């Protein structure tokens, strides 16, 4: 399954975060961030909620089908 909408890279760059810094903040590896941003990995609900919490937005703002 792929995500039609994946705005993680945009949110990350707008926040001035590197992939490594974001990975540290949500307790995953940098490779996980890379895979999500490139659409090769669909994050779990828990991880999607961590991203939304960090960026103070809805999960739907970050990801969609």
Instruction: Assess if residue 65 is contained within a domain.
Output: no
Instruction: Assess if residue 16 is contained within a domain.
Output: yes
Give the number of other Cβ atoms within 10 Å of residue 26's Cβ.
Answer: 17
More confident residue, 54 or 4: 54
For the stretch 5-64, pLDDT in tens is: 899 999 999 999 999 999 999 999 999 999 999 999 999 999 999 999 999 999 999 999
Instruction: Assess if residue 46 is contained within a domain.
Output: yes
pLDDT band, very low/low/confident/very high, at 65 (cuts 50, 70, 90): confident
In whole angstroms, give the CA distance from residue 18 to residue 15: 9
Instruction: Assess if residue 44 is contained within a domain.
Output: yes
Range of the domain at 41: 5-56
We report the CATH number of the domain holding residue 40 as: 1.10.260.40
Domain count, the chain: 1
Q: What's the pTM?
A: 0.91
In whole angstroms, give the CA distance from residue 15 to residue 56: 11
Helix axes 45-55, 19-26, angle to 10 degrees: 110
Beta bridge partners of 63: 6
> What SS3 class is residue 20?
helix
Instruction: Assess if residue 61 is contained within a domain.
Output: no
Which pLDDT does position 4 carry in this prediction?
A: 78
């Amino acid at each position: 399954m792929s995500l039609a909408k994946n705005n993680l890279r945009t949110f990350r760059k707008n926040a001035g975060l590197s992939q490594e810094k974001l990975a540290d903040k949500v307790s995953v590896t940098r490779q996980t961030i890379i895979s999500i941003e490139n659409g090769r990995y669909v994050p779990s609900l828990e991880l999607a909620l961590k991203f939304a919490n960090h960026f103070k937005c809805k999960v739907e703002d970050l990801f969609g089908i």
